[in-house]
Amino acid sequence: MTLLDSDVWSKRLFGDGWKDATGEQPVVEPATGDRLGTVGLATVEEVGRAAARAAEAQRAWAVTSPQERAAVLRRAGELFTEHAAEIEDWLVREAGSVRAKAGFEVGLARGECFECAALPTCPQGEVLTSEEPRWSFARRRPAGVVSVIAPFNFPLILGLRSVAPALALGNAVLLKPDPRTAVSGGVVIARVFEEAGLPPGVLHLLPGDGSVGEAVVEAPEVRVVSFTGSTPVGRAIGERAGRLLKRAHLELGGNNALVVLPGADVGKAASAGAFGSYLHQGQICMTTGRHIVHESLLEEYTAALAAKARALPVGDPAREDVALGPIIDRRQLERVHRIVTESVAAGATLAAGGEIVGAGYRATVLTGLTTDMPAWREEIFGPVAPVIGFSSPEEAARIVNDCEYGLSVGILGDVGTAMRLADRIDSGKVHINEQTVSDEPNAPFGGVKASGTGSRFGGAAANVEAFTETQWLTVRPDIAEYPF
Residue (of 286, 284, 160) closest to 226 by Cα position: 160
User: What's the whole-number average pLDDT of the chain?
Assistant: 97
* pLDDT digits 0-9 by tens, 287-330: 999 999 999 999 999 999 999 999 999 999 999 999 999 999 99
* pLDDT digits 0-9 by tens, 363-395: 999 999 999 999 999 999 999 999 999 999 999
- Answer whether 227's CB lies under 8 Å from 233's CB: yes
Q: Provide the pLDDT confidence category of residue 1 given band limits of 50, 70 and 90.
A: low
**Range scoring the smallest mean pLDDT among 188-202, 328-342, 450-464:** 450-464
Q: What are phi and psi of 77, to 5 degrees?
A: -60, -40
Whether 195 is catalytic: no
Q: Provide the pLDDT confidence category of residue 457 given band limits of 50, 70 and 90.
A: confident
- Determine which one of 285, 320, 395, 434 is catalytic: 285
Q: Where are the beta strands (DSSP E) in 79-151?
A: 125-128, 135-142, 145-149
Sign of dihedral through CA atoms 311, 315, 320, 321?
A: positive
Whether 285 is catalytic: yes
Helices (H), 279-414: 298-310, 330-345, 374-377, 393-401
CA angle 71, 75, 79 (to 5 degrees): 170
Burial of 186 (0-12, 13-18, 19+ CB in 10 A): buried
The SS3 call for residue 161 is helix
Q: Which domains does the chain have, with CATH numbers?
A: 6-252+452-473 (3.40.605.10), 256-432 (3.40.309.10)
Residue type, 208: G
- Determine which one of 94, 115, 221, 251 is catalytic: 251
* pLDDT digits 0-9 by tens, 168-210: 999 999 999 999 999 999 999 999 999 999 999 999 999 999 9
* pLDDT digits 0-9 by tens, 152-172: 999 999 999 999 999 999 999
The SS3 call for residue 340 is helix
pLDDT higher than 90, residue 261: yes
Residue type, 427: S
pLDDT higher than 90, residue 455: no
pLDDT value, residue 223: 98
Q: Please give the average per-residue pLDDT across 230-237, as a whole number.
A: 96
pLDDT value, residue 454: 83
Q: Provide the pLDDT confidence category of residue 459 given band limits of 50, 70 and 90.
A: confident
pLDDT value, residue 456: 76
pLDDT value, residue 267: 98
pLDDT value, residue 149: 98
